[in-house]
Amino acid sequence: MDISLDSEKNDRKFALPVDSEHKATEFRLFSLATPHMRAFHLSWISFFSCFVSTFAAPPLLPIIRDNLDLTATDIGNAGIAAVSGAVFARIAMGTACDLFGPRLASSSLILLTAPAVFLTAIANSPAAFLMVRFFTGFSLATFVSTQFWMSSMFSPAVVGTANGLSGGWGNLGGGATQLIMPLVYSLIHSNIGSTKFTAWRIAFFIPAFFQTLSAFAIFFLGQDMPDGNYVRLEKSGEKHKDNFSQVFYHAITNYRGWILALTYGYCFGVELTIDNIIAQYFFDRFNVNLHTAGIIAASFGLANLFSRPGGGILSDVVAKWFGMRGRLWTLWVVQMIGGLLCLLLGKVGSLSASIAVMLVFSVFVQAACGLTFGVVPFVSRRSLGVISGMTGGGGNVGAVLTQVIFFRGSRYSTEEGITLMGVMIMCCSLPILFIYFPQWGGMFLGPTKGSTEQDYYLSEWSTAEKEQGFHKMSVKFADNSRTERGRKGISAPIPTDNENPPSTVL
């Protein structure tokens, strides 16, 4: 961490200790201090509400399928639709964050998708059901704004923790909804006395209101960056309003973004797939009743309370000692073990063994998600949003692919599908071996001699852009990310920069 005279002067108004970019260097969970911790709480709560809305239908399906005369195929297609909308929405969200800031981007998306949840209450046919699930699923793109916002508010030393907690507690919504929606439904059905087919419709207003409220909270209480909102910072010249095509270009030409998109498809994508199929699996294979199957399904999602954050925290802890190389190794090992456990899950034949394996599997696969977003903030500074969006979108692609290949039709039994999914997780985790940062190294190779963080992050800006000083934020980030060298590298002398452009002093 660089402690210069400058940052000490500017420290004045922050409740938490900050670095030169004014990003918090500590994470205090029970604080609501603006802007850092408030941003954290706003982001995880709004993401949680989007997950609740997206997966609000599955626990009420026994009633909805009778009301709308759905077949198993209709239900399967709606489930795939719910996760496929977010593929492109996540990439678009990443771009929007880079250009407009996470506050506007996320509150806009949440308000745009809230009508889909409200209109679920008046759906009258299988086609309408598919449409509302499809459009509601777009709201899962708030994941990207969550991660982007955390990466803007928290320094490299704690970014894994912040990302893991906000992502994990948001994902919790997928488990919580399996408990919330049946409860709300039975309150309306028994206490208010509505008929079954009306009660489920009224129940959907709850997630819809929650989602709308969270959008308002973000807009009025949130702030894009520690120093203010994009709009204000751009007007004052502190932040340069970036160029979309350049941002996009630098994201798609960074191979690390593509590798992480693939590997995230096989931790988060697997998590989404399991959310959709696991209740049915326990119901059909072990003959538990639907209520019990729902509780088991909920427990898979609820493990996110500690497992995804655990992955993020682990990433930060390992980085303190071994830097980025440690983050990469831990990610690969945890995801491989997750794949092995998935393989095992399909093979065990007894109910109690299945539940036990499923719980351990959930911890590893969700930790892998947290570990992935310990690496993502470092892939690019200029195109952080689009890279986050690509990775997030890759997660949903993985979910769609996996469900289409292994869990549709009767080609494979569900247990065969689960085992094969485990094999696919292990194969698709191998590309992590090829991620290499010249300044820090990769899993098998050390850093290139003489390569610095500044070289890496400033290569995203052209000379013309640098002359105009547009790259200032990347310079600060480069300096702050020296912690990724690990214990050994951090005490090494800073190689003299051959870059001494006189015009960067502003």
Partner 1 sequence: MKYFMLRSYILLFFLSKIINGDVLFSSLPQSFHVVAYPTKGQVLKAGEDRITVSLGLNQTTTNQTDNESYKNVKVKLCYAPISQVDRKWRRTVDNLKKDKTCQFTIWDKPYDMNNQTFEWVIEKDIPTAMYFVRAYAYNSAHQERAYGQTTNDKKSSNLFKVEGISGRHLSLDITSICFSAFALLSLVGFFLLEKRHSKIKS
SS3 of 122, please? coil
Least Cβ distance, residue 316 to partner 1 (angstroms): 34
Least Cβ distance, residue 223 to partner 1 (angstroms): 12
Q: CB of 269 within 8 A of CB of 397? A: yes
Among 202, 333, 360, 430, binds partner 1 (CB under 8 A): 202
Tokens (6 digits) for 368: 């892998």
Q: CB of 211 within 8 A of CB of 49? A: yes
Class of residue 234 by CB neighbours under 10 A (exposed 0-12, middle 13-18, buried 19+):
middle
Among 197, 244, 255, 321, binds partner 1 (CB under 8 A): 197
Give the burial string for 442-453 (b: 16+ CB within 10 Å, else e).
bbeeebeeeebb
The rounded distance, in Å, linking the Cα atoms of 77 and 175 is 21
Please report, as residue ranges, which positions from 176 to 195 form the binding site for partner 1 (by CB under 8 A): 195
Q: Rounded to a whole number, what is the largest CA-CA distance in the chain?
A: 76
Count of residues near partner 1 by CB under 8 A = 40
Nearer to partner 1, 102 or 312 (CB): 102
Tokens (6 digits) for 150: 């955390």
The answer to whether residue 200 forms part of the interface with partner 1 (CB under 8 A) is: yes
The 3-state secondary structure of 5-47 reads HHHHHHHHHCCCCECCCCCECCCCCCCCCCCHHHHHHHHHHHH
Nearer to partner 1, 218 or 425 (CB): 218
Among 112, 131, 401, 430, binds partner 1 (CB under 8 A): 112
The answer to whether residue 73 forms part of the interface with partner 1 (CB under 8 A) is: yes
Nearer to partner 1, 2 or 284 (CB): 284
Draw the binding track, 129-158, toward partner 1 (x: CB under 8 A; -: no contact).
------------------------------
The answer to whether residue 69 forms part of the interface with partner 1 (CB under 8 A) is: yes
How many CB atoms neighbour CB 381 within 10 A?
A: 24
Least Cβ distance, residue 98 to partner 1 (angstroms): 17
Least Cβ distance, residue 286 to partner 1 (angstroms): 13
The rounded distance, in Å, linking the Cα atoms of 263 and 261 is 6
The answer to whether residue 115 forms part of the interface with partner 1 (CB under 8 A) is: yes
CA 356 to chain centre: 26
Nearer to partner 1, 131 or 359 (CB): 131
Q: CB of 274 within 8 A of CB of 282? A: no
Helices 72-100 and 102-120: crossing angle, nearest 10°?
A: 160
Nearer to partner 1, 128 or 336 (CB): 128
The answer to whether residue 104 forms part of the interface with partner 1 (CB under 8 A) is: yes
Identity of the residue numbered 249 = Y
Among 2, 29, 235, 427, binds partner 1 (CB under 8 A): 235
What is the enclosing helix (H) or strand (E) of 230? Answer: helix 230-236
The rounded distance, in Å, linking the Cα atoms of 260 and 252 is 12
The rounded distance, in Å, linking the Cα atoms of 64 and 55 is 13
The rounded distance, in Å, linking the Cα atoms of 361 and 341 is 5
Least Cβ distance, residue 499 to partner 1 (angstroms): 33
Least Cβ distance, residue 130 to partner 1 (angstroms): 15
Among 7, 25, 31, 212, binds partner 1 (CB under 8 A): 212
Of 114-122, 174-182, 356-364, 442-450, which segment contacts partner 1 by CB under 8 A? 114-122
The answer to whether residue 72 forms part of the interface with partner 1 (CB under 8 A) is: yes
The rounded distance, in Å, linking the Cα atoms of 3 and 313 is 24
Sign, CA dihedral 348-351-352-358, equals positive
CA 244 to chain centre: 22
How many CB atoms neighbour CB 321 within 10 A?
A: 10
Among 22, 36, 38, 201, binds partner 1 (CB under 8 A): 201
The answer to whether residue 291 forms part of the interface with partner 1 (CB under 8 A) is: no
Nearer to partner 1, 202 or 433 (CB): 202
Least Cβ distance, residue 149 to partner 1 (angstroms): 17
**Torsion angle of the four alpha carbons 59, 64, 65, 67, in this order, in degrees rounded to the nearest 10:** 160
Q: CB of 146 within 8 A of CB of 165? A: no
Nearer to partner 1, 72 or 506 (CB): 72
The answer to whether residue 2 forms part of the interface with partner 1 (CB under 8 A) is: no
The answer to whether residue 124 forms part of the interface with partner 1 (CB under 8 A) is: yes
Least Cβ distance, residue 276 to partner 1 (angstroms): 16
Query: Can you give the C-alpha Rg of the chain in angstroms?
Result: 23
Among 18, 60, 78, 114, binds partner 1 (CB under 8 A): 114
The answer to whether residue 278 forms part of the interface with partner 1 (CB under 8 A) is: no
Please report, as residue ranges, which positions from 25 to 64 form the binding site for partner 1 (by CB under 8 A): 62
The answer to whether residue 118 forms part of the interface with partner 1 (CB under 8 A) is: yes
Please report, as residue ranges, which positions from 213 to 232 form the binding site for partner 1 (by CB under 8 A): 215-216, 219, 231-232
Contact set with partner 1 (CB under 8 A): 62, 65-67, 69, 71-73, 104, 107-108, 111-112, 114-115, 118-119, 121-122, 124, 195-198, 200-202, 205, 208-209, 212, 215-216, 219, 231-232, 235-236, 284, 287
